[in-house]
């Protein structure tokens, strides 16, 4: 079996926690050949990261324990190898890049120093290492590599940091690169560029790539083969095309069906009296203009999607509308009254009509309150909505409405999964019987299949209760099935505003087209285009060292 | 999903008191600490009226009587002090004053400090600045110096002692609370409460305070020991508790000159202070876990195994 570069055989990993033994990975086997790109696809808790951490010897033992199996690299078992040799393998033969480069780069050393360190640790002279580091930075497309060498991690953007991480990983020309959710934290256009870079580098060096992701689009974009994991077991393996066109396992089918952007597009109804009419809202932080004159109308019961990359001002807009931050100028007429001019007591009454669902339900629910307390707090604050005797009954109703059961009332938020927590947050927003709910990236932190369920829930609420939504997202496909209108924002300005059909089928602006093109399709035959990267002098990496 | 089933499910959950008792039983250290503190509390209440006379009666023939003389009655088992007074009885009698001063000072300083800290962290930057500078002023004075001046001017009584010690400890709580509030007020759930229209008072006391509280209780138990010793320092200078009143701190400082030949004079009251603060620490550690819904399972699981 020596022809496989990496072979994982019957690997089992368990964690000893106070709640008992958790079998994170249950006897999985897969292999990877030289120059191959394998994706491990799975949702959170599927064990996909644990299996790759085992390869890099990154599992904390205890509480973790590799309870069985072997990991063969060129036929040699990594798990029985002496620690000294194992370290030699890490970095030199196998390198890894992580999801969040900011937390994996040391903030107190310059980037150049950190790239060189990887090489000097494995016995390269300092000056040589520096030279090599410079070449790598240039190759991964960092502008002004000379200066970049002396900069610190916080001075780079997210995409650039990920490029720096890739440069570090490639420093020793590994045979295998493990990428753990390499683009999850990045904007769509940046994600497309980083994936393109990874593909190019893979072609040049002929290294094998093991990419761990929850995103079918990433799989379709980069991988040759894919293994699908669910709850620690490997449910399906095959080429990307096979899996997408002809999934065998029900879980894989569910995952593929959950990918957004396939449903029927909404057609907005006739124009009526707007519920909310925003005119020329501006907000600056110091000299930074976060909002440069935003204007739009929202009809009752309608959904306005606000799409933009990080820093486009979409969250600032939401916070301004709710008066969490005071805007500098502009008006927002809510049924004819200006939200920005309300006194605190008038604002308090209006809070009932405007609610918000936040991005991360783990943080937006007070960890020390039970579900009952969380939801009924709305009625403590606004006592005229509901008499106290009916609270319990109404909480049960609301929970049923969002797909939870009344027994959940006395539990605390940490006892729920991410999707359930977001349902609780939605139930809390509904408790005030609002007419407009602002969802700030309300589904971005959720797994794809959960995301689909939450969007379905929101859609149901809209149909049944006529609630209007402002739905903020960084990803276009997510909003396609749900919104009536889309507003594309870039650097504090509205780039394009139109109905879903207009924006998706005939985008007028180059930026919108770039955003649409950068969204990854889960269909491997519909390869996403990529906006041309800035012309970097494409220097070819030195051919791979033979061993 | 009918309501009848809901009520049944909720009724099946044991009440908070029962759950607390179960969790206390699950942690043997916290249980012993709680029992010890209850005993100390009982002693503090009945001590002076029970052994008051015995503890102050001099017996010059029994000066510095060594401990572990089992032939005598139990009050002499810990030995006697320089004037031949039984140490065991004195410790029991001193418990009342000691606990009153320490608990009084700690409660007073923590309540005032926390409230000021909440205000400083949550109100306008200007109010916050004023409160913080006041705290700096208190901090920059050596606390014993303030105590000496105040007690000299006002005369020493248990109440004044309590007040003085409280004032010197306020900045500790104030600064900790403010720092935590500044962080917590930016958290999502506080924003969420604001969106619902919650008043500042509600946000402070319902959302922020419960998160700060565990830190503060830990701080308060540590401070308990500090205050007991600070009180003994003041008593040593002659401006704290005045004999014939006694506290554990005073007993330690009275035994200081006999340390080389009669160690027990300082040792027993010292042990009492150590055991009390240690019990408080263990109990507050237990409380921190028991009151945190995210951590609570650790105790409930253990209880399940034992039962």
CATH at A118: 3.40.50.300
Tell me what the mean pLDDT of segment A230-248 comes to: 85
At B89-106, the pLDDT tens digits run 888 888 888 888 899 999
Tell me what the mean pLDDT of segment A321-334 comes to: 87
Q: Least CB-CB distance to A396: which of B1, B13, B298?
A: B1
- Give me A539's structure tokens: 């220097």
Instruction: State percent of chain A over pLDDT 90.
Output: 4
Ranges of each domain in chain B: 33-306
Instruction: State percent of chain B over pLDDT 70.
Output: 93
Is A73 found in the same domain as A41? yes
Residues in chain A with CB shorter than 8 Å from the CB of B292 are 368
User: Is B293's Cβ below 8 Å from some Cβ in A?
Assistant: yes
User: Is A389's Cβ below 8 Å from some Cβ in B?
Assistant: no
Residue with tokens 């027993």: B268
pLDDT score of A152: 87
pLDDT score of B302: 62
Residues in chain B with CB shorter than 8 Å from the CB of A364 are 188-189, 191-192
Q: Do A409 and B293 touch (CB under 8 A)?
A: no
Q: Do B195 and A412 touch (CB under 8 A)?
A: no
pLDDT score of A395: 92
* pLDDT > 70? residue B306: no
Which residues numbered 295-324 in A keep a CB inside 8 Å of some CB on B? Answer: 322, 324
Q: Least CB-CB distance to A351: which of B1, B189, B195?
A: B195
User: Is B103's Cβ below 8 Å from some Cβ in A?
Assistant: no
Last residue of a domain, one of A383, A399, A433: A433
Is A324 found in the same domain as A232? no
pLDDT score of B107: 94
- Give me A47's structure tokens: 């064990």
Q: Least CB-CB distance to B197: which of A19, A364, A381?
A: A381
User: Is A37 part of any domain?
Assistant: yes
pLDDT score of B307: 35
User: Is A167 part of any domain?
Assistant: yes
The confidence band for B85, taking pLDDT boundaries of 50, 70 and 90, is confident
Is A485 found in the same domain as A455? yes
Q: Least CB-CB distance to A393: which of B3, B192, B198?
A: B3
Shortest distance, CA B3 to any CA of chain A (angstroms): 7
The confidence band for B14, taking pLDDT boundaries of 50, 70 and 90, is low
User: Is B186's Cβ below 8 Å from some Cβ in A?
Assistant: no
Shortest distance, CA B177 to any CA of chain A (angstroms): 18
Segment of A159-168, A216-225, B35-44, B227-236 carrying the highest mean pLDDT: B35-44
Cα–Cα distance between B279 and B30 in angstroms, integer? 8
One DSSP character per residue, A264-329 reads PPP------S-SEEEEEEEEEETTEEEEEEEEEEE-TT-EEEEEE-TTSSHHHHHHHHTTSS--SE
Report the first-to-last Cα separation within chain B, whole angstroms.
Answer: 33
pLDDT score of A269: 65
**Angle of helix B125-140 relative to helix B158-184, nearest 10 degrees?**
140
pLDDT score of A149: 86
Of all residues in chain A, the one with the smallest CA distance to B202 is A381
Query: Which residue of B11, B192, B298 to mutate against A (max A Cβ within 10 Å)?
Result: B192
* pLDDT > 90? residue B113: yes
Cα–Cα distance between B304 and B307 in angstroms, integer? 5
The confidence band for B304, taking pLDDT boundaries of 50, 70 and 90, is very low
pLDDT score of B242: 76
Query: Which residue of B195, B290, B298, B304 to mutate against A (max A Cβ within 10 Å)?
Result: B195
Is A422 found in the same domain as A374? yes
Residue B213, H or E segment: helix B209-236
Which residues lie below 8 Å from residue A384, measured CB to CB, with a gap of 6+? none
**Cβ count within 10 A of residue A465:** 13
Domain over B33-306 is classified CATH 1.10.3720.10: yes
Cα–Cα distance between A219 and A214 in angstroms, integer? 9
Report helix, strand or coil for A231. coil
**Mean of per-residue pLDDT scores for chain A:** 83
Q: Do B196 and A381 touch (CB under 8 A)?
A: yes
Cα–Cα distance between A426 and A378 in angstroms, integer? 12
Shortest distance, CA A96 to any CA of chain B (angstroms): 32
Q: Do B207 and A366 touch (CB under 8 A)?
A: yes
* pLDDT > 50? residue B11: no
* pLDDT > 60? residue A2: no
pLDDT score of A143: 82
Tell me what the mean pLDDT of segment B289-294 comes to: 81
Cα–Cα distance between A519 and A175 in angstroms, integer? 30
Of all residues in chain A, the one with the smallest CA distance to B7 is A407
Shortest distance, CA B113 to any CA of chain A (angstroms): 23
pLDDT score of B39: 93
pLDDT score of A263: 67
Domain range for A24 is 6-258
Of all residues in chain A, the one with the smallest CA distance to B213 is A368
User: Is A348's Cβ below 8 Å from some Cβ in B?
Assistant: yes
Q: Do B188 and A428 touch (CB under 8 A)?
A: no
Residue with tokens 């009625």: A379
Which residues lie below 8 Å from residue A381, measured CB to CB, with a gap of 6+? A351, B196, B197, B198, B199, B202
pLDDT score of A349: 83
Tell me what the mean pLDDT of segment A11-34 comes to: 81
Q: How many residues make up chain A in this entry?
A: 547
Is A388 found in the same domain as A340? no
Q: Do B1 and A405 touch (CB under 8 A)?
A: yes
Is A375 found in the same domain as A317? no
Q: Do A414 and B293 touch (CB under 8 A)?
A: yes
Q: How many CB pairs under 8 A join A and B?
A: 86
Which residues lie below 8 Å from residue B84, measured CB to CB, with a gap of 6+? B58, B59, B60, B61, B62, B63, B64, B65
Is A32 found in the same domain as A121? yes
User: Is A541 part of any domain?
Assistant: no
Tell me what the mean pLDDT of segment A449-456 comes to: 82
pLDDT score of A539: 40
User: Is B192's Cβ below 8 Å from some Cβ in A?
Assistant: yes
The confidence band for A262, taking pLDDT boundaries of 50, 70 and 90, is low
Is A95 found in the same domain as A47? yes
Q: Do A377 and B193 touch (CB under 8 A)?
A: yes
Shortest distance, CA B198 to any CA of chain A (angstroms): 6
pLDDT score of A543: 43
The confidence band for B264, taking pLDDT boundaries of 50, 70 and 90, is confident
The one-character DSSP state at A34 is T
Q: Do A432 and B196 touch (CB under 8 A)?
A: yes
Is A332 found in the same domain as A231? no
Cα–Cα distance between B100 and A425 in angstroms, integer? 46
Tell me what the mean pLDDT of segment B167-196 comes to: 89
* pLDDT > 70? residue A323: yes
Lowest mean pLDDT among A331-345, A509-523, B123-137: A509-523
pLDDT score of A97: 86
Residues in chain A with CB shorter than 8 Å from the CB of B210 are 368
Count: domains in chain A: 3
At B203-246, the pLDDT tens digits run 988 899 988 988 898 889 888 878 887 887 787 777 777 777 88
Higher pLDDT, A153 or A521: A153
Higher pLDDT, A302 or A266: A302
Is A183 found in the same domain as A193? yes
Q: Do B293 and A412 touch (CB under 8 A)?
A: yes
Q: Do A358 and B192 touch (CB under 8 A)?
A: yes
Residues in chain B with CB shorter than 8 Å from the CB of A407 are 5-6, 9
Query: Which residue of B7, B10, B14, B197 to mutate against A (max A Cβ within 10 Å)?
Result: B197
The confidence band for A19, taking pLDDT boundaries of 50, 70 and 90, is low
Cα–Cα distance between B304 and B296 in angstroms, integer? 13
Residues in chain B with CB shorter than 8 Å from the CB of A405 are 1
pTM: 0.76
The confidence band for A52, taking pLDDT boundaries of 50, 70 and 90, is confident
Residue with tokens 């009520």: B7
User: Is B301's Cβ below 8 Å from some Cβ in A?
Assistant: yes
User: Is A143 part of any domain?
Assistant: yes
Cα–Cα distance between A91 and B106 in angstroms, integer? 55
* pLDDT > 70? residue B49: yes
Q: Do A405 and B187 touch (CB under 8 A)?
A: no
pLDDT score of A526: 63
């Amino acid at each position: 079996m020596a022809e496989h570069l990496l072979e994982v055989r019957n690997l089992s990993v368990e964690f000893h926690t106070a709640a008992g033994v958790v079998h994170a990975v249950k006897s999985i086997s897969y292999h990877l050949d030289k120059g191959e790109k394998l994706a491990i696809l799975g949702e959170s808790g599927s064990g996909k990261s644990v299996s790759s951490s085992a390869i890099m010897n990154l599992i904390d033992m205890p509480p973790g324990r590799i309870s069985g199996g072997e990991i063969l690299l060129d036929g040699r078992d990594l798990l029985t190898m002496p620690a000294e040799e194992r370290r030699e393998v890490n970095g030199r033969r196998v390198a890894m890049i992580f999801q969040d480069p900011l937390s994996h780069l040391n903030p107190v050393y310059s980037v150049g120093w950190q790239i060189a360190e990887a090489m000097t640790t494995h016995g390269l002279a300092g000056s040589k290492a520096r030279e090599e580091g410079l070449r790598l930075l240039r190759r991964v497309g960092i502008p002004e590599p000379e200066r970049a060498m002396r900069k610190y991690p916080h001075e780079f953007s997210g995409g650039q940091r990920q490029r720096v991480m890739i440069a570090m990983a490639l420093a020793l020309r590994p045979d295998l690169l493990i990428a753990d959710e390499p683009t999850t934290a990045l904007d769509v256009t940046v994600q497309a560029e980083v994936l393109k870079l990874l593909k190019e580098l893979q072609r040049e060096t002929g290294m094998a790539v093991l990419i761990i992701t929850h995103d079918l689009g990433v799989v379709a974009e980069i991988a040759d083969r894919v293994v699908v994991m669910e709850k620690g077991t490997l449910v399906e393996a095959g080429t990307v095309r096979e899996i997408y066109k002809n999934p065998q396992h029900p879980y894989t089918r569910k995952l593929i069906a959950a990918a957004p952007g396939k449903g029927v597009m909404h057609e907005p109804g006739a124009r009526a009296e707007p519920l909310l009419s925003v005119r020329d809202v501006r907000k600056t932080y110091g000299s930074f203009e976060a909002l440069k004159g935003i204007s739009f109308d929202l009809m009752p019961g309608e959904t306005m999607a606000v799409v933009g990359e990080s820093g486009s001002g979409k969250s600032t807009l939401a916070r301004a509308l709710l008066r969490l931050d005071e805007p500098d100028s502009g008006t927002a007429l809510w049924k004819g009254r200006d939200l920005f001019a309300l006194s605190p007591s008038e604002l308090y009454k209006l809070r009932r009509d405007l609610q918000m669902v936040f991005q991360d339900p783990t943080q937006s629910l007070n960890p020390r309150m039970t579900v009952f307390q969380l939801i009924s707090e709305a009625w403590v604050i606004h006592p005229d909505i509901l008499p106290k005797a009916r609270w319990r009954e109404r909480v049960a109703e609301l929970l049923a409405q969002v797909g939870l059961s009344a027994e959940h009332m006395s539990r605390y938020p940490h006892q729920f999964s991410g999707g359930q927590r977001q349902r609780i947050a939605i139930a809390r927003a509904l408790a005030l019987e609002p007419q407009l709910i602002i969802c700030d990236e309300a589904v971005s932190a959720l797994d794809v299949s959960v995301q689909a369920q939450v969007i379905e829930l929101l859609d149901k609420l809209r149909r049944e209760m006529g609630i209007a939504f402002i739905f903020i997202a960084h990803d276009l496909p997510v909003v396609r099935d749900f919104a009536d209108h889309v507003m594309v924002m870039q650097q504090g300005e509205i780039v394009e505003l139109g109905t879903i059909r207009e924006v998706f089928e005939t985008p007028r602006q180059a930026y919108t087209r770039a955003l649409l093109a950068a969204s990854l399709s889960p269909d491997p035959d519909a390869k996403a285009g990529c906006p041309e990267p800035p012309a970097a002098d494409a220097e070819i990496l030195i051919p791979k060292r033979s061993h | 999903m009918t309501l009848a089933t809901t009520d049944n499910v909720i009724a099946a959950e044991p009440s908070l008191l029962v759950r607390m008792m179960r969790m206390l039983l699950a942690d043997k250290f916290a249980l012993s600490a709680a029992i010890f503190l209850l005993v100390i509390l009982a002693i503090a209440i009945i001590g002076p009226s029970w052994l008051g006379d015995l503890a102050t009666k001099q017996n010059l023939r029994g000066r510095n009587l060594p401990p572990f003389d089992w032939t005598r009655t139990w009050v002499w088992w810990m030995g006697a002090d320089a004037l031949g007074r039984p140490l065991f009885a004195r410790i029991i009698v001193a418990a009342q004053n000691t606990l009153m001063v320490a608990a009084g000072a700690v409660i007073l300083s923590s309540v005032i400090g926390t409230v000021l800290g909440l205000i400083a962290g949550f109100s306008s930057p200007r109010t916050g600045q004023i409160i913080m500078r006041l705290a700096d002023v208190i901090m920059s004075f050596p606390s014993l110096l303030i105590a000496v001046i105040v007690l000299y001017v006002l005369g020493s009584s248990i109440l004044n002692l309590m007040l003085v010690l409280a004032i010197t400890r306020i900045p500790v709580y104030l600064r900790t609370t403010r720092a935590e509030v500044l962080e917590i007020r930016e958290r999502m759930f506080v924003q969420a409460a604001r969106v619902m229209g919650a008043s500042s008072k509600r946000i402070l006391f319902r959302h922020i305070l419960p998160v700060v509280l565990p830190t503060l209780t830990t701080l308060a138990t540590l401070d308990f020991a500090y205050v007991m010793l600070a009180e003994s320092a003041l008593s040593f200078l002659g401006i704290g508790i005045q004999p014939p009143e006694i506290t554990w701190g005073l007993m330690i400082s009275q035994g200081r000159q006999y340390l080389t030949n009669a160690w027990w004079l300082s040792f027993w009251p010292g042990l009492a202070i150590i055991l009390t603060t240690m019990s408080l620490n263990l109990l507050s550690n237990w409380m921190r876990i028991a009151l945190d819904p995210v951590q609570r399972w650790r105790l409930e699981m253990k209880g399940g195994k034992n039962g």
